Amino acid sequence: MDKFTSVLVFVCVSFLMISCTGGDTSTTSNNPPGSSTTGSIGPAGGIVNGYYGANITIPAGALASSVDIVITPDSTGAPDIPVTDVDTAGATYALTPHGTAFTIPATVKIPFDADRIPTDATPVLYKAEPGGSFSAIPTSVDNNMLTADVDNFSWVIPGYASTRPRMVYALTDGGTKVSSFKITKITGALSAATSSALVGASPISISVHPSRRFAYVTNAGSTTVNNIAPNSVSVYQLNPVTGSISGPTDTKQANGHPISAVVHPTGKFVYVVNEVRFGSPIGNISVFSVNPTTGALSAPTTTADSGGAPATALAFSPSGDYAYVTYMWASGAPSTYYYTVKTFTVDSTTGVLSAPIGSVATGDTPWAIAVTPDGHYAYVAINSSSQSEVRIYAIDQSTGVLTYQSSVALPSAKPSSLAMDSEGRFLYVGEQQPISSKNLLVFSINSANGSLANAWSELTGTGSLVGPISVVAEPQGEFVYAMDVTGEIVQYSLNAGTGELTSAGSAVTGAYVGGGTTSPGDPFFFAASGTSPVWVNGCTLGCAIYGGGGGGGGGGSTPPPAATHYLNITIVQGGGTVVSSPSGINYSTIAAELAKNASGAGFPTGTTVQLCMTHTDNLQTYDVKWTGSGGCGGTSSCTSLYMNHDQYCTLTLTPTSNR
């Protein structure tokens, strides 16, 4: 089970033709020998077939007398499925008569949709008895069926224990698209691209909101491309089950040359680092508020302005109370800013960074910054041939201000990217200039003083590669990904004890290095998402993110409740409209929403939301089925949900001709 709470997704999938209403158990004429079309099974045993391949095999001797057995997709009278720990990937099937017991276990096969199973989850059947509760039973997978042995009857449902897929998001196709790749849960290997969306001119970086519902791409070009404005940040939607990316759904311009978008730890704000090194230098941060429903951004506020020293990187303390910004040199830039890392306080309401409360020297060309999950240490990569190193700073736990501790020299390597695993065990350093045929270094972090010790090193490609590199540690701390100038994403699994990296499969080719390939180029990022030790599931925005568990603690405080929660709607088939009360969801045509496959709206905590659908297809009649969390369910035209955390609801319209 995932150690974090999950939200429930009830899904009936059209291609499986899972009916969401009751029905008979009739079978085709080529039933297996011994199968029964009437459901009457006696001591000799037999097979009862239900909808879409579902069946029950009763062995000889399991029953003492004949029983009329039925298997049908119907949740009437079933116990509630808990809104934590269980997500579903198919219809609930009733096995009746309830209470039937077998002296020899019967075998149940239930259809499920493998595409609804995130890559970090394993499908399993959950079973419940009248008056009881659903719990997992030993299950095996047989193509699109889940198979399990049962000693008695009532309800079973295919499910899994996870809330979000594990994905990598990267720029592709020469920088014209952003694409999603699934992470294989055992090895960390990446799939081929599962979805893509267009981007603007000269994209540099992509980042993912900690809720895993939105992504942000910075477009640093000077022209409008694909109707996306220049010098901007675009918002993309992420499917909460498949991880697929679509959009953009919103674009806002930034002040200057946007090189990266950094999401505040609470998820309430997005910060875009603006850097212009030539002409009239610019070095500031654009801060945007995040719409909790759509991920859309407010108009920007300019903050942390250096007066001309180009900003290169931004990181936050785990609490989000402090921000750390690095600045490099440019002609005419104030000497009080360049080659420094500044500490700012963060306004929790507006996100604005207050005037620096601390400043410490970095050396020539600070290029990347990372902060430990416990908030005790910060690391800055110095991308300079004359001063190539990683600097270590201690963070004052009372003031947030940095103090220089020591440095690790990387002669002529020009480190350009830093990443850290979610438990603060290892720091990953990408070198722009490979040294001794190594350009990806792993350092173990001494939790007592922040010092670094060499743990492992790799060359991410073949030959003496020279150019930018970006490194990502996925949130669960199992895998590491690196992209270099060759446009390959190399994949590694991590030995948590030693820091050793092991190849997780063939590199993904065709990725795009943002920011150009000339030295030093621009800092660029790709992103990895998954269940994080530092994010509270079921909380749209406003929750504190650190609870002290999983090695990611930041004080162990209990997160405050969110003011708003998100209702996600999935729709199968077409032929009607869906409207919510209170307002927020208004789909004029369901068919138009099918391409999105997941949409919704935000509602205040404690709200009861009613969803109602109306048929518009005069040529067909449908069976209606609502399934989901928070009370979503039933076969009438309307259903209601209670918004005490993020909720999910699926409307399945099954043509009656498919019964």
Query: Are 233 and 343 in the same domain?
Result: yes
Does the structure show a pLDDT above 90 at 353? yes
Dihedrals phi, psi of 420, to nearest 5 degrees:
-140, 140
Q: What percent of the chain has pLDDT over 90?
A: 45
Rounded to the nearest angstrom, the gap between the alpha carbon of residue 652 and the centroid of all alpha carbons in its chain is: 25
Give the pLDDT of residue 267: 87
Query: Are 221 and 352 in the same domain?
Result: yes
Does the structure show a pLDDT above 50 at 398? yes
Domain CATH number, residue 114: 2.60.220.30
Task: Write the single-letter amino acid at 304.
Answer: A
* pLDDT band of 572, cuts 50, 70, 90: low
**What's the pLDDT tens digit per position in 242-253?**
788 999 999 999
Beta partners for residue 503, in sequence order: 492
* pLDDT band of 219, cuts 50, 70, 90: very high
Does the structure show a pLDDT above 50 at 370? yes
Give the pLDDT of residue 194: 92
Q: Other C-beta atoms within 10 Å of 23: how many? A: 14
Residue 37 tokens read as 């079309």
DSSP 6-33: --------TTTT--SS-------TTPPT
Residue 50 within any structural domain of the chain = yes
Q: Which one has a higher pLDDT value, 635 or 406?
A: 406
Give the pLDDT of residue 554: 30
Beta partners for residue 358, in sequence order: 343
Does the structure show a pLDDT above 90 at 620? no
Rounded to the nearest angstrom, the gap between the alpha carbon of residue 585 and the centroid of all alpha carbons in its chain is: 23
Give the pLDDT of residue 462: 62
The predicted model gives 314-334 an average pLDDT of: 92
The predicted model gives 445-457 an average pLDDT of: 94
What DSSP element (H or E) covers 591? helix 590-594
Residue 557 within any structural domain of the chain = no
In terms of residues, how long is the chain?
Answer: 659
Residue 385 within any structural domain of the chain = no
Give the pLDDT of residue 538: 54
Domain CATH number, residue 633: 2.60.40
Residue 503 tokens read as 């190849």
Query: Are 152 and 172 in the same domain?
Result: no
Domain CATH number, residue 186: 2.130.10
Does the structure show a pLDDT above 80 at 517? no
**What's the pLDDT tens digit per position in 36-84?**
345 789 999 999 988 778 899 999 999 999 999 999 888 888 887 764 4
How many separate domains does the chain show? 3
Give the pLDDT of residue 74: 83
Q: Which one has a higher pLDDT value, 212 or 410?
A: 410
Query: Are 210 and 156 in the same domain?
Result: no
DSSP 276-333: E-SSS-EEEEEEEEBPTTT--B---EEES--SSSPEEEEEE-TTSSEEEEEE---TT-
Does the structure show a pLDDT above 70 at 460? yes
**What's the pLDDT tens digit per position in 96-138?**
999 899 999 999 999 988 777 766 677 889 999 888 888 888 8
Rounded to the nearest angstrom, the gap between the alpha carbon of residue 162 and the centroid of all alpha carbons in its chain is: 11
Query: Are 139 and 198 in the same domain?
Result: no
Does the structure show a pLDDT above 90 at 500? yes
Give the pLDDT of residue 298: 94
pTM of the model as a whole: 0.72
Q: What percent of the chain has pLDDT over 70?
A: 82
Query: Are 196 and 320 in the same domain?
Result: yes
Q: Other C-beta atoms within 10 Å of 58: how many? A: 25
Query: Are 73 and 203 in the same domain?
Result: no
Please measure the distance between the N-terminal and C-terminal CA atoms of the chain and give it in whole angstroms: 35
d(CA 389, CA 33): 73
* pLDDT band of 516, cuts 50, 70, 90: low
d(CA 626, CA 641): 11
Does the structure show a pLDDT above 50 at 16? no
d(CA 322, CA 303): 14
Residue 258 within any structural domain of the chain = yes
Average pLDDT, the chain: 82
The predicted model gives 503-510 an average pLDDT of: 90
Nearest to 214 by CA among 640, 569, 541: 541
Query: Are 294 and 209 in the same domain?
Result: yes
Query: Are 498 and 626 in the same domain?
Result: no
Task: Write the single-letter amino acid at 58.
Answer: I
Task: Write down which residue in 160, 179, 195 finishes a domain.
Answer: 160
**Region at 635 (left for phi over 0; alpha for psi -120 to 50; beta for the rest):** alpha
Q: Which one has a higher pLDDT value, 239 or 512?
A: 512
Give the pLDDT of residue 7: 28
Task: Write down which residue in 481, 507, 529 finishes a domain.
Answer: 529
Residue range(s) defining the domain that contains residue 482: 167-363+461-529
What DSSP element (H or E) covers 590? helix 590-594
Nearest to 572 by CA among 614, 612, 625: 625
* pLDDT band of 533, cuts 50, 70, 90: low
* pLDDT band of 586, cuts 50, 70, 90: confident
Query: Are 187 and 151 in the same domain?
Result: no
Query: Are 230 and 202 in the same domain?
Result: yes
Give the pLDDT of residue 216: 97
Does the structure show a pLDDT above 60 at 34? no
d(CA 638, CA 620): 19
**What's the pLDDT tens digit per position in 195-204?**
999 999 999 9
Task: Write down which residue in 108, 133, 160 finishes a domain.
Answer: 160
**What's the pLDDT tens digit per position in 269-289?**
999 999 877 667 778 899 999
Give the pLDDT of residue 27: 34
**Region at 20 (left for phi over 0; alpha for psi -120 to 50; beta for the rest):** alpha
Give the pLDDT of residue 598: 44
SS3 category, 574: coil
Does the structure show a pLDDT above 50 at 469? yes
CB 253 within 8 A of CB 231: yes
CB 265 within 8 A of CB 290: no
Beta partners for residue 541, in sequence order: 564
Give the pLDDT of residue 84: 46
Give the pLDDT of residue 601: 76
Q: State the DSSP code for 225.
A: B
Nearest to 380 by CA among 425, 457, 325, 438: 325
d(CA 94, CA 48): 13
Q: Other C-beta atoms within 10 Å of 116: how many? A: 23
HSE toward the beta carbon, residue 359, CA cutoff 13 A = 12
Task: Write the single-letter amino acid at 211.
Answer: S
Q: Helix %, strand %, coil % for the chain, to 5?
A: 5, 45, 50
- The single residue listed with the structure tokens 């004029």 is 588
Query: Are 139 and 193 in the same domain?
Result: no
d(CA 72, CA 75): 9
Residue 215 tokens read as 């992504």
